[in-house]
């Protein structure tokens, strides 16, 4: 179980906002380039070229960005409008000076190289070599630095920045990216399709809800016919053109929907023997070379292809039976009806344009536009059914051939797009990759769908940054043993807060290693010292200092454990070893233990305890202390306040304290006796007094108030001094922590005379050095 703690504390500096800037494909189709900036991270999605433009004018507005600051460039698919600007950015800008990395899927990387090599060779659709944006060498250098990734792989780029590619349909290798920057999720769809065709899987709905979805809008509010209808329309049209003796021209790009068309036509020809004498050709060496990539990446395609291939390993769907590659375009004999697929797709030049100009005047021939035609290209112009058009050499050419458009460009239509957006369920929708008017209509349609929700729809123009701000809600995940009990609203949760890449986790320190992989170090301290007293004497002193002492045997050696922190091992007769795990409090306890042990030998009480048998009933001959160390008298005694003292006679601990005190006094004054209450007339309260007699002088000590009464001031002073020393010695450390300190009503200690100074008085340890305040109440 994990518990989430959500903090709503707003901190202005912390308010997360993301900036999205389109350097291309903002209210247009072509030269896709989207810059996402958040919390000091910069991610660029796609670097395309505009197919209608040449040279530098085909590039996105790359000068608007410092490319050395880019952390990652993610390329969705190999199409020119998404990937063809990449070698320029990688090799001809300051991108190389930074630490940025470039990612695309494996099939995209494989096809990208082929298409780019072709583009370099034919000169970026331009006849002017000066228009070339990069050389083959640039391309090779760039290509080697592209990191290929797999679908569903979680790729961590740097602290707080990661992404996962998901299937986008559209073309082989196409991916949409779920990008996570400092906890903010952004989905960049690239071009995507939701229809499962003959070889591609359809786009997946990512498992997490993004905060922002940057979504293509190519077809706007357009509705495409169902696939079966479209296929039938297509094959019928192709068959009609060749049956009337015409040549059927289909301008294609080397990769993408052409592979799909080839699959459809091969299947159709197989089923129609009457067409077997009519050749189906594709005039693209690039498409031919690329077919190997398609044969290789069958595992990334849909079940239709995968099952066909798994049934028969020799039946690779991309090894066609009827469709042939036209190897040498120049040697080809154009002598009758045929189906010809030729590049480029938008009739900008080369084979498709050459054939168009040759075949356009004959009304038996037919042109079928199957891909998406970008504004400003010949393909787009011809769809307007012009009477004539201008040839590559500037001549006017009659257009009598039929012109039809059956789009196999794998983009979503309105119904698919809006239902996908609904499933993805983002907070912000950013529409890109659509003509301004088309996008505008889509925006209106979506706005009416989301009228009752707080979903925002944006259509940024190129170079106009869109800034989105989010609630500064911070989530802290409580995990491990801390999360086993469900917290109650008023109950505070305490634990160790671990921050990693803008995500917060609260856990019990002992779970740190298991849940975070963070290591903890334990320093074990060990110190040995020689002591000349018995184990029992040591116990007596320890109990005096700490109250209770746990006694145990470890590895056949007697041990004491002090406050569950320090272990004292009776290593040998004369030697003790202290062991403790280092920490602020444990070190303090160890220090006090060491101080105590080092002073034991010279402590007066030790001398008394070990050299002289007690004179009040204990007959032990050993060096064992006559009295087990009780909790101190101080602890048992109530603070001298206005409270009445309670009966104390019955408390054995207090009685032992009194005996200890008596021992002290005996050692100093020789004659000490106890007075019972009955001896004092008129006293109703139960009192405990000790009488000290020295050379006919008599003094009484009230053990409740520690008031010394004596007619001889010198003796009184001396007794007070001894009492102070005794008090310090017998009051235990732990009880001192528990009990309140005494109030010193008369802070002036009786000045000690020369004669007062004896060995024991000098031995008196200053209790303040142990962090204890303990004073004896005196009365002048
Ligand atoms: Zn595309
Ligand atoms: Zn595109």
Consecutive sets of 10 residues in the chain, 780 residues long: mean pLDDT of each? 52 71 95 96 96 89 97 96 95 96 96 83 54 88 96 93 96 96 94 89 94 96 89 95 96 87 93 95 89 88 86 82 91 93 89 95 95 87 94 94 91 95 96 95 95 94 94 79 85 84 83 79 90 85 82 90 90 90 86 84 62 42 43 38 38 61 75 64 60 85 82 87 74 44 36 39 35 33
Q: How far is the CA of 464 from the centre of ligand 1 (A)?
A: 23
Nearest ligand to the CA atom of 29: 2
Nearest ligand to the CA atom of 32: 2
Tell me whether residue 9 is exposed, middle or buried, using C-beta atoms within 10 angstroms of its C-beta: 0 to 12, 13 to 18, 19 or more: exposed
With tokens 């993301």, the residue in question is: 18
With tokens 């590559």, the residue in question is: 392
Q: How far is the CA of 389 from the centre of ligand 1 (A)?
A: 27
With tokens 């320029």, the residue in question is: 88
What pLDDT sits at residue 170?
A: 93
Q: How far is the CA of 111 from the centre of ligand 2 (A)?
A: 16
**Percentage helix, strand, coil for the chain under 3-state DSSP, each rounded to 5:** 35, 20, 45
Nearest ligand to the CA atom of 256: 1
Q: How far is the CA of 79 from the centre of ligand 1 (A)?
A: 5
With tokens 């063809």, the residue in question is: 84
What pLDDT sits at residue 224?
A: 86
What pLDDT sits at residue 504?
A: 84
Q: Tell which residue, 537, 596, 613, has the closest CA to residue 570.
A: 537
Q: How far is the CA of 239 from the centre of ligand 1 (A)?
A: 28
Q: Which two tokens stand for residue 508?
A: 């019990």
Nearest ligand to the CA atom of 253: 1
Q: Is 157 helix (H, G, I), strand (E, B) or coil?
A: strand
Q: Tell which residue, 403, 340, 410, 338, has the closest CA to residue 371.
A: 410
CA 736 to the chain's CA centroid = 47
Q: Are 47 and 83 in contact (CB under 8 A)?
A: yes
CA distances 721 to 703, 725, 757, Å, are 15, 6, 10
Q: Are 180 and 149 in contact (CB under 8 A)?
A: no
Q: How far is the CA of 238 from the centre of ligand 1 (A)?
A: 24
Name every residue whose Cβ is closer than 8 Å to that of residue 739 and which is 6 or more positions away in sequence: 632, 634, 635, 639
CA distance 287 to 294: 10
Q: How far is the CA of 439 from the centre of ligand 1 (A)?
A: 17
Q: How far is the CA of 305 from the centre of ligand 1 (A)?
A: 21
Q: Which two tokens stand for residue 568?
A: 């004292």
The secondary structure of residue 101, as a DSSP letter, is E
Nearest ligand to the CA atom of 81: 2
Nearest ligand to the CA atom of 33: 2
> How are beta strands 247-251 and 212-216 bridged, if at all?
unpaired
Q: Tell which residue, 375, 323, 378, has the closest CA to residue 345.
A: 378
Name every residue whose Cβ is closer than 8 Å to that of residue 49 and which is 6 or more positions away in sequence: 30, 31, 58, 59, 80, 81, 84, 85, 124, 133
CA distance 403 to 363: 10
What pLDDT sits at residue 437?
A: 95
Q: Are 541 and 528 in contact (CB under 8 A)?
A: no
Name every residue whose Cβ is closer than 8 Å to that of residue 16 and which is 6 or more positions away in sequence: 38, 39, 182, 183, 184, 469, 470, 472
The secondary structure of residue 666, as a DSSP letter, is H
Among 411, 428, 433, 570, the one annotated catalytic: 411
What pLDDT sits at residue 646?
A: 38
CA distance 240 to 197: 24
CA distance 567 to 553: 11
Q: Which residues pair with 380 in a beta bridge?
A: none
Q: Is 254 helix (H, G, I), strand (E, B) or coil?
A: coil
The secondary structure of residue 234, as a DSSP letter, is H
Q: Tell which residue, 178, 240, 251, 239, has the closest CA to residue 212.
A: 178
Tell me whether residue 333 is exposed, middle or buried, using C-beta atoms within 10 angstroms of its C-beta: 0 to 12, 13 to 18, 19 or more: exposed
Told to judge if 631 belongs to the known catalytic residues of this protein, a careful annotator would answer: no
The secondary structure of residue 298, as a DSSP letter, is G
Name every residue whose Cβ is closer than 8 Å to that of residue 437 and which is 6 or more positions away in sequence: none
Nearest ligand to the CA atom of 111: 1
Q: Which residues pair with 35 in a beta bridge?
A: 21, 44
Q: How far is the CA of 528 from the centre of ligand 1 (A)?
A: 77
Q: Is 423 helix (H, G, I), strand (E, B) or coil?
A: helix
Name every residue whose Cβ is closer than 8 Å to that of residue 302 and which is 6 or more positions away in sequence: 196, 197, 199, 200, 201
What pLDDT sits at residue 687?
A: 60
Name every residue whose Cβ is closer than 8 Å to that of residue 485 and which is 6 or more positions away in sequence: none
Q: Are 39 and 160 in contact (CB under 8 A)?
A: yes
Q: How far is the CA of 409 from the centre of ligand 1 (A)?
A: 8
Q: How far is the CA of 184 from the centre of ligand 2 (A)?
A: 25
Q: How far is the CA of 48 from the centre of ligand 2 (A)?
A: 9
> How are beta strands 503-507 and 496-500 bridged, if at all?
antiparallel
Q: Tell which residue, 244, 286, 242, 285, has the closest CA to residue 265.
A: 242
CA distance 21 to 31: 13
Transcribe 693-711 into DSSP letters: EETTEEEEEETTTTEEEES
Q: How far is the CA of 58 from the centre of ligand 1 (A)?
A: 16
What pLDDT sits at residue 632?
A: 39
CA distance 287 to 610: 103
Nearest ligand to the CA atom of 169: 1
Q: Tell which residue, 619, 648, 624, 622, has the closest CA to residue 635.
A: 648
Q: How far is the CA of 132 from the centre of ligand 1 (A)?
A: 22
Nearest ligand to the CA atom of 45: 2
Q: Which two tokens stand for residue 111?
A: 């096809």
Which alpha helices (H) appear in 519-645, and where do they start and end?
Answer: 535-546, 584-600, 604-611, 633-636
What pLDDT sits at residue 611?
A: 53
Q: How far is the CA of 410 from the centre of ligand 1 (A)?
A: 8
Q: Is 248 helix (H, G, I), strand (E, B) or coil?
A: strand
Q: How far is the CA of 605 from the centre of ligand 1 (A)?
A: 94
Tell me whether residue 657 is exposed, middle or buried, using C-beta atoms within 10 angstroms of its C-beta: 0 to 12, 13 to 18, 19 or more: buried
């Amino acid at each position: 179980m994990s518990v989430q703690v959500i903090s709503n504390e707003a901190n202005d500096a912390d308010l997360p906002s993301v900036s999205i800037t389109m350097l291309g494909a903002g209210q247009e189709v072509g030269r896709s380039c989207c810059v996402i900036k958040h919390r000091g991270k910069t991610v660029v999605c796609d670097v395309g070229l505009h197919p209608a433009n040449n040279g530098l004018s085909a590039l996105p507005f790359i000068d608007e960005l410092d490319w050395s600051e880019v952390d990652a460039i993610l390329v969705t698919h190999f199409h020119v409008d998404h990937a063809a600007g990449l070698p320029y950015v990688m090799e001809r800008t300051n991108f190389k000076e930074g630490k940025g990395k470039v990612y695309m899927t494996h099939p995209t990387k494989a096809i990208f190289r082929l298409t780019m090599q072709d583009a370099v060779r034919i000169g970026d659709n331009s006849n002017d070599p000066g228009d070339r944006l990069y050389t083959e060498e640039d391309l090779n250098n760039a290509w080697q630095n592209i990191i290929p990734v797999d679908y569903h792989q979680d790729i961590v780029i740097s602290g707080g920045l990661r992404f996962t590619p998901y299937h986008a349909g559209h073309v082989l290798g196409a991916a949409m990216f779920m990008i996570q920057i400092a906890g903010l999720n952004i989905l960049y769809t690239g071009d995507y399709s939701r229809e499962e065709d003959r070889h591609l899987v359809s786009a997946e709905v990512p498992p997490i809800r993004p905060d922002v979805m940057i979504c293509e809008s190519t077809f706007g509010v357009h509705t495409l016919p169902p696939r079966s209808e479209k296929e039938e329309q297509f094959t019928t049209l192709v068959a009609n053109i060749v049956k009337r003796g015409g040549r059927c021209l289909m301008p294609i790009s080397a990769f993408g929907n052409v592979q799909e068309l080839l699959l459809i036509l091969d299947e159709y020809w197989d089923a129609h023997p009457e067409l077997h004498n009519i050749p189906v050709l594709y005039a693209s060496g690039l498409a031919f070379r690329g077919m190997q990539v398609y044969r290789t990446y069958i595992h990334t395609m849909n079940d239709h292809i995968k099952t066909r291939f798994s049934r028969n390993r020799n039946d690779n769907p991309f090894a066609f039976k009827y469709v042939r590659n036209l190897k040498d375009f120049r040697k080809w004999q154009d002598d009758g009806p045929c189906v010809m697929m030729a590049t480029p797709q938008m009739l900008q030049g080369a084979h498709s344009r050459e054939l168009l100009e040759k075949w356009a005047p004959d009304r038996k021939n037919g042109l079928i536009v199957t891909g998406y035609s970008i504004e400003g290209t010949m393909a787009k112009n011809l769809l307007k059914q012009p009477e004539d058009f201008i040839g590559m050499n500037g001549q006017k050419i009659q257009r009598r051939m039929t012109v039809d458009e059956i789009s196999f460009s794998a983009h979503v239509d309105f119904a698919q797009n809006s239902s996908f957006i609904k499933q993805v369920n983002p907070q912000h929708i950013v529409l890109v990759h659509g003509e301004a008017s088309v996008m505008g209509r889509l925006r209106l349609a979506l706005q009416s769908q989301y009228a009752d929700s707080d979903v925002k729809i944006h259509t940024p123009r190129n170079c106009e940054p869109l800034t989105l701000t989010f609630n500064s809600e911070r989530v802290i995940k409580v995990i491990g043993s801390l999360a086993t009990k469900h917290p109650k609203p008023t109950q505070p949760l305490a634990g160790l807060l671990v921050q990693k890449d803008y995500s917060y986790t609260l856990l019990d320190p002992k779970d740190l290693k298991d849940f975070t992989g963070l290591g903890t170090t334990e320093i074990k301290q060990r110190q040995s010292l020689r002591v000349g007293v018995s184990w029992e004497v040591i116990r007596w002193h320890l109990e005096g200092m700490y109250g209770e002492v746990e006694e145990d045997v470890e590895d056949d050696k007697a041990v004491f454990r002090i406050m569950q922190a320090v272990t004292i091992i009776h290593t040998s007769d004369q030697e003790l070893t202290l062991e403790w795990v280092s920490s602020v409090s444990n070190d303090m306890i160890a220090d006090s233990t060491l101080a105590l042990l080092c002073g034991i030998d010279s402590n007066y009480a030790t001398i008394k305890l070990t050299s002289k048998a007690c004179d009040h009933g204990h007959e032990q001959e050993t060096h064992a202390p006559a009295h087990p160390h009780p909790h101190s008298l101080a602890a048992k005694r109530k603070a001298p306040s206005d409270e009445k003292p309670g009966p104390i006679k019955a408390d054995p601990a207090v009685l032992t304290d009194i005996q200890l005190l008596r021992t002290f006094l005996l050692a100093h004054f020789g004659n000490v006796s106890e007075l019972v209450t009955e001896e004092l007339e008129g006293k109703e309260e139960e009192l405990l007094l000790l009488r000290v007699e020295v050379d006919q002088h008599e003094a009484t000590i009230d053990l409740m108030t520690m008031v010394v009464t004596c007619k001889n001031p010198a003796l009184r002073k001396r007794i007070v001094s001894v009492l102070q020393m005794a008090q310090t010695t017998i009051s235990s450390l732990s009880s001192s922590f528990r009990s309140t300190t005494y109030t010193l009503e008369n802070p002036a200690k009786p000045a000690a005379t020369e004669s007062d100074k004896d060995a024991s008085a000098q031995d008196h340890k200053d209790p303040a050095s142990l962090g204890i305040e303990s004073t004896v109440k005196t009365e002048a």
